[in-house]
Amino acid sequence: MSLYIDVKYLQQIGNRLPLFKKKSDRLWNCRCPICGDSTKKKNKARGYFFTKGNDLFYKCHNCDAGQHFGTFLKNFDGQLYSQYSLERYSNGENRRAHSNPEADLIKKFQWTLPEETLTPPPSLLDKLLPRVSDLDADHECRRFCADRGIPEYQLSRLYFIDDMRRIVQISPKMRDKIVTAEPRLVIPFRDRSGKLVGLTCRALRGESLRYIAVRIDEDAAQIFGQEDINPLTTVYAVEGPLDSLFLPNAVAVGGTGFLRLGDLGVEQRRLTVVIDNQPRNREVVAVYKKVIDAGYRVFFWPSKYSGVKDINDLVKATGLSSRQLAELVDDHSVSGLKAQAQLAVWKRV
């Protein structure tokens, strides 16, 4: 009955695996959480779980990771693995079953890519709006992104709307709310499976209403970038979606609602929260306290950057690359008691 147990646990973690999908009773597919799959192609999903005899295996067609489901689960969620391990091996089955040389077994498995995955599912947004990466280099929206220093490779994640009133094509609820016809930068929010749940439309021409939020699924957590994160390495959480484009493996909560990160399915210790560099008032201190109490690592802005207000500003001031920025954040992030101690000092300065 060990296959039954493997499949049961796979289904349990399915909602935390990006683009997870059951293909048949013997095959499941997802974006690979080990290598993160393709950073450019959001629809790529090259991780497969497949049955072989009485066992379930994982194989990624991108990074060539190949492991028994037990090994996969151990790395993905250590706590759940302990439970799995008890259940799977309590009935006298040989514990060595999944520490056997898995690679050999996987090599023997004739690898074929299911045809379905070769065609990315059509996205509603792509039918209606161009991606910023497809606009001419001198296009207003493209220049807006370039002026902010947003990396070129991130532009395919953003869209452009030439007339804000057209948003009713995506969300009819907006019909009476949108009266102006300006163009805007469109930032899509998706759920873990890649389904569109909302949009934020950013002003390009200095309109006083800088952001217009369009909710498509009222109940879904509006966390930008969550469909793409690799939960097995550090995940950075920032306030603004555009700020998140400067860091690797990052999400944005669209404000200071960092406690929504609980929905991400990422272990707390792997989440580093970057709060905007605001004046140290009571509200900001309260946000830090909540984030620390929730068990996340938190970034304390080095004092030499006191004039910088957020990640985008920091990049403009320093020209740091995504990797360098991640290093800077890692070097100044702490959690638990250390974070509490640092907050106590920080709030008095």
* Residue whose CB is less far from Zn ion, 34 or 287: 34
**Residues paired with residue 203 on neighbouring β-strands, in sequence order:** 184
* Residue whose CB is less far from Zn ion, 62 or 171: 62
* Residue whose CB is less far from Zn ion, 61 or 260: 61
Q: How far is the CB of 157 from Zn ion (least distance, A)?
A: 20
Q: How far is the CB of 32 from Zn ion (least distance, A)?
A: 3
- Containing 80, the helix (H) or strand (E) segment is helix 78-89
DSSP of 246-281, one letter per residue? TSTTEEE-SSS-GGGGGGG---GGGEEE--------
* Residue whose CB is less far from Zn ion, 44 or 202: 44
Q: How far is the CB of 59 from Zn ion (least distance, A)?
A: 9
Structure tokens given for 336: 């638990």
Strands 235-238 and 250-252, sheet pairing: parallel
* Residue whose CB is less far from Zn ion, 62 or 278: 62
Residue type, 208: S
CA–CA distance, 292 with 335 (Å, rounded to integer):
6
Spatial contact of 309 and 276, defined as CB atoms under 8 Å apart: yes
* Residue whose CB is less far from Zn ion, 63 or 168: 63
Q: How far is the CB of 67 from Zn ion (least distance, A)?
A: 11
* Residue whose CB is less far from Zn ion, 107 or 173: 107
Q: Which of 290, 285, 258, 283 shows the shortest CA–CA distance to 273?
A: 258
**Range 212-240 burial, b when 16+ CB lie within 10 A, else e:** bebbbeeebbbbbbbbbbbbbebbbbbbb
* Residue whose CB is less far from Zn ion, 32 or 266: 32
Spatial contact of 106 and 57, defined as CB atoms under 8 Å apart: yes
Q: How far is the CB of 75 from Zn ion (least distance, A)?
A: 12
Q: How far is the CB of 65 from Zn ion (least distance, A)?
A: 5
CA–CA distance, 178 with 164 (Å, rounded to integer):
7
Q: Which residue has the tokens 């000092």?
A: 345
Q: How far is the CB of 234 from Zn ion (least distance, A)?
A: 17
Q: What angle do CA 298, 302, 305 make, to 5 degrees?
A: 120
Q: How far is the CB of 34 from Zn ion (least distance, A)?
A: 5
* Residue whose CB is less far from Zn ion, 35 or 97: 35
Residues that bind Zn ion (CB under 5 A): 32, 34-35, 60, 62-63
Provide the CB-side half-sphere exposure for 84 (13 A, CA): 26
Spatial contact of 187 and 242, defined as CB atoms under 8 Å apart: yes
CA–CA distance, 348 with 251 (Å, rounded to integer):
30
Q: How far is the CB of 28 from Zn ion (least distance, A)?
A: 15
Q: Which residue has the tokens 């049955």?
A: 51
CA–CA distance, 170 with 192 (Å, rounded to integer):
20
